[in-house]
Structure 1
């Protein structure tokens, strides 16, 4: 596991992290690094079934805001931002690590995907980020950073990524347009694109173990990244060190994406 740095690069910052499912989640890796660097953390969990896996993490991160948030359920996302406004009065960082597609559509060919499945995948995995941005922007009067999670399958064909390829491509395009629209408010917007990781969400992909094995063999550094690697990159993008970066898709994949 990547060694986490000590420091206070995010001291005084307030960060919302959407999408923590358990201790193996990319979202948790990001929240852990943010907290380690001094940020105050707000966490959400999907539903009561997920709560027992996320609540201990919220206690570990000393999160004063811990709420359910199903982006498909009317009012949940609004309630989260209403609580942030009431509790903190503002926000510096909002990270979106939410994606879903119905199993049949995810594991089948894109050409066979249903209109309903495609719509659900686009709403949860892409449009919810746009909704998050709309709610976060008023709480960032002095600027801030919006982050979401993508994957190399948005730009190149990754066998068995199927439906999620076009959906993540739409997400990366949304990042660029939001960066343009919110730039005058000093709000920077990025997608972070990790290499293959053993997360619950990724396990739904067909032949995912083969994808992991191939990644180790092909990546120039010869090993997989972990959730803390992703968290460190996300943290960097929220600091003054990245003050003039926006609208980017930043790869954290050990160089896998440069290989033919």
Structure 2
């Protein structure tokens, strides 16, 4: 008889995971993996409407739960002030994105200035704002993650406005990796294959995208949130302490197919 052994490689680490909406969220997969490997986890919820979906998940892993709407500067400052009072931060996961439906489902050429700026602010610049506040809490080093998609590098039909936005996010990760490397802070863009999340449901013809991924990926399987979480846990661990600035694909090899 064998017993599964969990190696607590993240014991003593503290992770802030932003973007859990429900049990299907990529951010939730990250939170589960971090907790399984011994990390203390802090989750955020967007607003009172979202809280009932996130609170039971936080309770199930003994995670602290705090409010955060990244469009409200005072909430972000309050969040990091609370974290600073409680101690250090070792891991930051930014897994949020937003674009108005009309801009997301229309062609890029038809996108509004307001919609484009809103998508860029929530999906990209908010990561920079979080990073700036997180750095003082990572005096002993740390790891930051932002969630991207292959549509940042190649044209994916119907990804539209989010393609340029995610491209900016991936570039921001590289520049942060350069700037923060001397402080022992590593930064990665994570690029999962298509996943059935609430955010993805807003994409036009998303079911066709899933089917295409399943048929074309070399491994012949779709990835899930646990795949993403396990990869992030590895990258946050001592086993990956010399890796930074990467865009890491977790897509069964789909990105290598022309």
Report the TM-score, using the length of structure 1 for normalisation. 0.97
Matched, 1:105 2:103: yes
1:101-157, Cα deviation, whole Å (9 max, x unpaired): 000000000000000000000000000000010000000111000111000000000
CA RMSD, 1 decimal: 1.0
Structure 1 residue aligned with 2:16: 16
- In structure 2, C-alpha distance between the alignment counterparts of 1:5 and 1:233, rounded to whole Å: 18
Q: How far off is 1:78 after superposition?
A: 1.1
Structure 2 residue aligned with 1:48: 48
- In structure 2, C-alpha distance between the alignment counterparts of 1:150 and 1:108, rounded to whole Å: 20
- In structure 2, C-alpha distance between the alignment counterparts of 1:79 and 1:221, rounded to whole Å: 44
Structure 1 residue aligned with 2:210: 212
Structure 2 residue aligned with 1:76: 75
Superposed counterparts of 1:241-260, under 5 Å? 241-260=239-258
> Structure 1's 256 and 27: CA in aligned 2 closer, same or farther, altered over 3 A?
same
- In structure 1, C-alpha distance between the alignment counterparts of 2:224 and 2:6, rounded to whole Å: 18
- In structure 1, C-alpha distance between the alignment counterparts of 2:12 and 2:238, rounded to whole Å: 14
Is there any run of 5+ residues in structure 2 with no aligned partner, and where?
Answer: none
Q: Where in structure 1 do 4 or more consecutive aligned residues deviate above 3 Å? A: none
Alignment size in residue pairs = 255
Structure 2 residue aligned with 1:30: 30
160-169 vs 75-84, which moves further:
75-84
- In structure 2, C-alpha distance between the alignment counterparts of 1:74 and 1:94, rounded to whole Å: 18
Q: How far off is 1:5 after superposition?
A: 7.4
Is there any run of 5+ residues in structure 1 with no aligned partner, and where?
Answer: none
- In structure 2, C-alpha distance between the alignment counterparts of 1:132 and 1:170, rounded to whole Å: 16
- In structure 2, C-alpha distance between the alignment counterparts of 1:218 and 1:105, rounded to whole Å: 28
Report the TM-score, using the length of structure 2 for normalisation. 0.97
